[in-house]
Amino acid sequence: MIDKLGQVMLYVTNQDDSLKFWTEKAGFHLVSKEDNGQGLRWFEIAPSEEAETSIVLHNKELIAKMQPELNLGAPSLLFFTEDLDALYKNFTNKNITVGDIVTMPTGRVFNFADNEGNYFAVLEKK
């Protein structure tokens, strides 16, 4: 089952300006920055070094092109789980709309939709 809320994905127009706001004005810490070398990059920030939940700043325009079905008006939630396969099976058995399980550098992940078509993701960390 889902263990905790891991990350909130925030889709922004200008990642660099957003990073400056969150780190320089709001006092958040930069946890990590990622770049896949193909134009997809993101910044992970958190309110403290000990925070269990973080915010990931994504490029809104790029994500809209990659996944036009996503509602980018509000943050997507990324949940963490210890057993992705069991959760995937559970959601499928309950007729929840789920995407394919995908292996990412940080672990395996799949998307699912609620009854209004809002998409969320679940990650099983490596």
Q: What is the DSSP annotation of 2-63?
A: EEEEEEEEEEES-HHHHHHIIIIIS--EEEEEEE-SSS-EEEEEESSTT-S-EEEEEEHHHH
- pLDDT, residue 44, reads 96
The DSSP element (H or E) to which 90 belongs, if any, is helix 84-93
Q: What is the pLDDT of residue 61?
A: 92
Beta bridge partners of residue 33, listed in sequence order: 43
User: For a pLDDT cut of 90, what percent of the chain falls above it?
Assistant: 53
Residues of the chain predicted below pLDDT 70: 74-76
- The strands making up 102-104's β-sheet, listed across from edge to edge, are 29-35, 41-46, 54-59, 2-12, 76-81, 119-125, 107-113, 102-104
Spell 67-101 as b/e; 16+ CB within 10 A means b.
eeebebeebbbbbbbeebeebbeebeeeeeebeee
Tell me the pTM. 0.70
Beta pairing class for 76-81 and 119-125: parallel
Backbone φ, ψ for residue 88 (5° rounding): -60, -45
- pLDDT at position 74, please? 64
